[in-house]
Chains A and B, each alone.
Chain A
């Protein structure tokens, strides 16, 4: 196969990544994330109307009359399916949901509540905390693992690539106000695993090549390694993306956000293994001495 000179573009893509990360951080800080009821507390109702005449405006109006705090209504897949979220949660009143249903039926006709989620403020704060801990813990565990398996220069490259993927994925969610719920946390953790997996495969090859070719500069060597593992990188990304696309298109509305986060993560993860992890090795001037020294110790 023809060699592709990935290393020619290290600089320009690093600049691009830098811009993307800064932009993501700016969005995350100033716009923030659109937290779902899991993390913000409140009530979510997925409902199906029996007539197509019910539209978002009508539903929003009737919910607004019920004094439930901030109400948001979105179409959910089918024309007759909607998701309504509002601040108020009152699960201690057993009639709370029933009353809403009755009032709604009076104004827009028969409705079926397909899903109700009611999360109190204490629980949502705990869920948010354990989500953050889970992500932090997985990053730490990856760091530890790669520290044991590789030299520190490699660990640094892999971890930077991880942060890159997680920050940009969350940045995209912030820009488009996509909802962050429990399944997004699961997706982010899986992205962490996948991105690491991809980086490790290239790094294994870099290390092997460092032993094999004493006089090739790291700038060239990373390119050789990327090329040698390229067909694997492409095939695995394609099969994973095929599976994820299938979930995204056919898996129903509930899995949309989850599979979208994963798709983004796989794309950024593949890109960052090449354009973040490897340039780090180059700028840290990794050479045969780096790994030989380590092995002597």
Chain B
């Protein structure tokens, strides 16, 4: 087990190294960048441009810049944002709580919707209920987020108004400006983005759970449990569901990094000041220290969560041996 973990960690580091090379190569080959903002401005003299290039470390060739970046990042310094001049990690830390709040609430909401619906539609296979929920799930999976988000905003934050003339729900940000913090206000701001994210991702979870549940309830041990004369409730929840949930662990585990990475479209549409939006604006401005920091941390978390899923799997299912 220990050797297995060590080997996997070592592999992960190599993977990360390759990922970082590819990402750095891609980002530095993108045209434009911070210097084009200055080159546009005739007030900036050639001496100014040279000074700024040196300041941002852009006067070295890409491989040299990569090695410098790698050396610094290994010591925990991902460089300073080109636009704010603050450390990239600080920019991320500022937004991390917001993203974790949004994605955490979303994950809980997703599970609260998906688990009961998944179980029920498996148990009531081919009934009206199954057909309706399956259709909705497919719709949810196929909805383009940027379109659906705008639709929600237009309906609930612009068109529908209460008696006081104010829209039902706020359509952007995470707090009403100029008012002291209140939990109600924060929840109101969470409703639209969370509903959208949960609707879209619950669809996937639900479909997964439904098919896994269908597999399980036709297993021999479920029939045995029924034959023993156990009550249906016990058969379903104690014998079938626990086994059916195992594949779900994979899904949840693989979704964990999104607690960090956030949701790019959702955060951008709803002006949620999280990491997805930070990444989006940084990418638009080719602010590559920030872009690299977000991508590398995100990649590391994905690799880690994969590892975590494998370990948890082994713990849940004694038949699986890690070697």
Q: Do A and B bind each other?
A: no
- Which chain A residues have a beta carbon within 8 Å of chain B's beta carbons? none
